[in-house]
Chains A and B, each alone.
Chain A
């Protein structure tokens, strides 16, 4: 079983739609969780950290469910510029980050 698993997509949604991605992780001792965004042919960039209580940044909401070992990212009112690959990232209580393979989002007009 992969340490971090994501649905690769693509998720094709119209502008203005709400879309949600889930990610599961295998190591129950994992301490920190993140979502990174990667545009086509560009480097990954931190989108947001994921806190136990859940957190929101504008149109983006991240949630953590430790009991079920999954993380979610909700994007409301999708924009064309949200089209990218979203990487789920976990720190399994080591000094390294484990990256999921990413979920591709395509927002169309």
Chain B
């Protein structure tokens, strides 16, 4: 069974703080993704990665960065959190050889005060 875990289910941070969201998958998937999900806007892709140390911008990368030092781990960093980054953050992974099916982690609800 594919398992994608995220470091926190709920997180409360203050404006200006640096925030780290961690995602780990145990299926040796090459591809990993970070999305945010907001009511009425659906899932929007922030960044994705096809391999260790590789990253690609998604549709809304501003205010975010990522790190992929190991294949199983993909981190999302909010350099200086702002209130408009309050959202549900979802990590996903997929296998290059397994088609496009993406497996999601349980999500992190981030509140920036």
Contacts and interface: CB of A to CB of B under 8 A. Distances in A.
Interface of A: 8, 32, 34, 42-46, 49, 87, 91, 95-97, 99-102
A46 B42 contact: no
Interface stretch (B11-19, B62-70, B75-83, B98-106): B98-106
Contacts of A46: 101-103
Contacts of A100: 42
Interface of B: 31, 35, 40-43, 45, 48, 50, 58, 90, 99-107
A96 B107 contact: no
B100 A101 contact: no
B43 A44 contact: yes
B40 A101 contact: yes
Given A42-B106, A43-B90, A99 B100 contact: no
B104 A32 contact: no
Contacts of A44: 43, 90, 104
A45 B42 contact: no
